[in-house]
Amino acid sequence: MPQPKLGGEFTFPGTPFTVHRMGYGAMQLAGPGVYGPPKDPAAALAVLREAVAAGVDHIDTSDFYGPHHTNQAIKAALHPYPKGLVIVTKLGGRRPPDQSWQRAISPAELTSAVHDNLRNLGLEALDIANYRVMGAGHGPEDGSIAEPVGVLAGLQRQGLIRHIGLSNVTAAQIAEAQSIAKIVCVQNQYNLAHRHDDALIGDLARQGIAYVPFFPLGGFTPLQSSTLSAVARRLGAQPMQVALAWLLRRAPNLLLIPGTSSLAHLRENLAAADLGLSPADVGELDGIAAGAFKG
């Protein structure tokens, strides 16, 4: 059966932003360690342009990628932006010269991060800004996020941010943020092997809120599984394509932002939206997490 183009469409709740479910994550365009300029600046621009030419209308970024370089590449490649392109950025972190990832959540830091994003992307307002909770690693930690979300709500009232999302958060933090601002998307770590958010995805789907997995291909530790490879071989596809096709079938509110600095991988990833998975394929792939998930 033919699959809908780029996984079909999704509208961020309460917004005019309708995007294809297959998007693009720009983090891999920064230099090694997500620091410094792209290793191949011409290739970075080519990847961005080809993604948009192929119909991608959802790009995920942050001004702390590079820092600044990733947003500058997006602007260089795509500005003036085509109608309908939704750029989602994130706030809450900074990259000092030692290349570490630090929290930056005071009102002054969040405000200056918004202006950095606006300047480097060449925008007058940010379409969607995610408040990214910076913690020890890539998993959420308990604790109130009311203060920084309140700052973002203030920047939204000033017209600098159109809509607010969250990243690296718990269900309790989402509920807390929803008492302060309307939340249109949540971006947490999730993939075939890392399924801590299974219940949360369903809860957000019932509210019409987008769930956008980061590390959909495993991020810095690419997914590796004999089951994934076997299913891919059977389908005549690449394992990473099967991992993305599985995510598209996981829930209708799931939007993909696979990251790549390579045109070949971009093409593979976009083509994954056309891959049909049978219920038996999905059942087999579901078994991967049962083996990988320890708690």
- Residue 70, Cα to own-chain centre: how many angstroms? 14
Helices 69-78, 41-53: crossing angle, 10 deg rounding: 50
> Given the rule CB under 6 A, which of 1-9, 25-33, 172-180, 200-208 is the region that contacts ligand NAP?
25-33
- Restricted to residues 155-174, the positions that interact with ligand NAP (CB under 6 A) are 167-168
* Alpha-carbon span 48 to 67, nearest angstrom: 18
Which residues within the stretch 80-99 sit at the binding site for ligand NAP (CB under 6 A)? 90
- Local structure of 180: helix, strand or coil: coil
Which C-beta is closer to ligand NAP: that of 39 or that of 157? 39
- Tokens in use for 118? 């606006």
Nearest to ligand NAP of 222, 283 (CB atom):
222
A 10 A CB-CB count for 221 gives: 10
Instruction: From 254, 242, 152, select the one nearest 201 (Cα to Cα).
Output: 254
Residue number of the CB closest to ligand NAP reads 259
The site for ligand NAP, by CB under 6 A, has a size of 28
Residue 292 burial by Cβ neighbours in a 10 Å radius (0-12, 13-18, 19+): middle
Query: For residues 101-140, which are near ligand NAP according to CB under 6 A?
Result: 132
What binding mask, one character per residue, do residues 50-79 give for ligand NAP by CB under 6 A, x or -?
----------x-------------------
User: Catalytic site residue 65?
Assistant: yes
DSSP 165: E
Interface with ligand NAP (CB under 6 A): 25-28, 60, 90, 132, 167-168, 187, 214-219, 222, 238, 240, 257-262, 265, 268-269
Q: Report, as residue numbers or ranges, the catalytic residues.
A: 65
